[in-house]
Amino acid sequence: MIFLFFCCSPTSTAITPATSQAPRLPSEIVGKNVEQIIRDWNNELQDRTGKFRKHATAIAEWDRRILQNRNVLIRLEAEVAKVVETQTSLERQLELIETHQKELHWWTAGQAEALSSAIVITDVLVVHQGAEFETADSMTPFDVAVRILDNQLRSLMWIDEKANEFSTRIQRLPNNGAAAERDSGMPRFWLS
């Protein structure tokens, strides 16, 4: 090999050829015989092979962990999909509940208006008929409605009490009828 060096001087440019040298032997093999060189190379090869195996084992462990984490991520992705589906379902149900709530609000508002007008009508009737409701100046339409509902509740309780009495009487009839038949000795054909 010939190396050329270019040297630049302020006055002139000159090209000088470099002298070629014979390649030098690596310092590891200088002064050693072939057996020693091969033995050193084998030792170095074993050291590097051991290091390579350590690195390969570490990389294999990393691969195993990556695969495990991949499986965990796949499971998490499936769970997230389920959560998203559940959330979507809950949002739909929430919208449905809100719709029902709005409908109920409008219905109750209508019922409140109807009740208010009923109270006004009741108030007018009470005033015009001079009914048994003695409304003081301090009674509100709500108080009047409470009184009316209280009277209706008492009436319903009286009806319930009478219904229970009749039910008890009806239950006693078959028992009394059988006792009366035994006492009279006459058969009752309509019961058999």
The answer to whether residue 109 sits within a structural domain is yes
User: Residue 177 domain-assigned?
Assistant: no
In a domain, 155, yes or no: no
Q: How many domains does one find in the chain? A: 1
The DSSP annotation for the chain comes to: ---EEEEE-SS-EEEEEPPP-PPPPPTTTTT--HHHHHHHHHHHHHHHHHHHHHHHHHHHHHHHHHHHHHHHHHHHHHHHHHHHHHHHHHHHHHHHHHHHHHHHHHHHHHHHHHHHHHHHHHHHHHHHHT-S----TT--HHHHHHHHHHHHHHHHHHHHHHHHHHHHHHHHHHHHHHHHHHHH----GGG-
How confident is the model over 160-169, as pLDDT tens digits?
998 998 888 8
Q: Please name which of 125, 119, 117 lies closest in space to residue 145, comparing C-alpha atoms.
A: 119
Q: For 89-115, write each residue's pLDDT tens digit.
A: 999 999 999 998 898 888 888 888 888
- Predicted local confidence at residue 135, as pLDDT: 52
CB 133 within 8 A of CB 150: no
Domain assignment of residue 192, yes or no: no
pLDDT of 49 > 70? The answer is: yes
Written as six digits, the tokens of 155 are: 């009436």
Highest mean pLDDT, choosing among 72-86, 135-149, 178-192:
72-86
164 assigned to some structural domain: no
Is the pLDDT at 187 greater than 70, yes or no?
no
Is the per-residue pLDDT at 126 higher than 90? Answer: no
| Cα–Cα dist 154/162, whole Å | 12
Assess whether pLDDT exceeds 50 at residue 191: no
pLDDT at 141 over 90: no
pLDDT of residue 42: 96
DSSP state of 189: G
Establish if 87 belongs to a structural domain.
Answer: yes
Element (H, E) at 32: none
Instruction: Judge whether 105 lies within some domain.
Output: yes
Quote the domain boundaries for residue 74: 34-129
Instruction: Read off the pLDDT of residues 54-68 as tens digits, 9 standing for 90 and up.
Output: 999 999 999 999 999
Within a domain: residue 23? no
pLDDT band of residue 24 (cuts 50, 70, 90) is confident
Q: Report the mean per-residue pLDDT for the chain.
A: 79
Q: Dig out the tokens for 98 from the structure.
A: 């809100």
Six-digit token string for 35: 């057996």
Percent of the chain with pLDDT over 70: 70
pLDDT for the residue numbered 19: 59
* CA pair distance 140, 125, nearest whole angstrom: 15
Asked if 144 contacts 122 with a C-beta cutoff of 8 angstroms, the reply is: yes
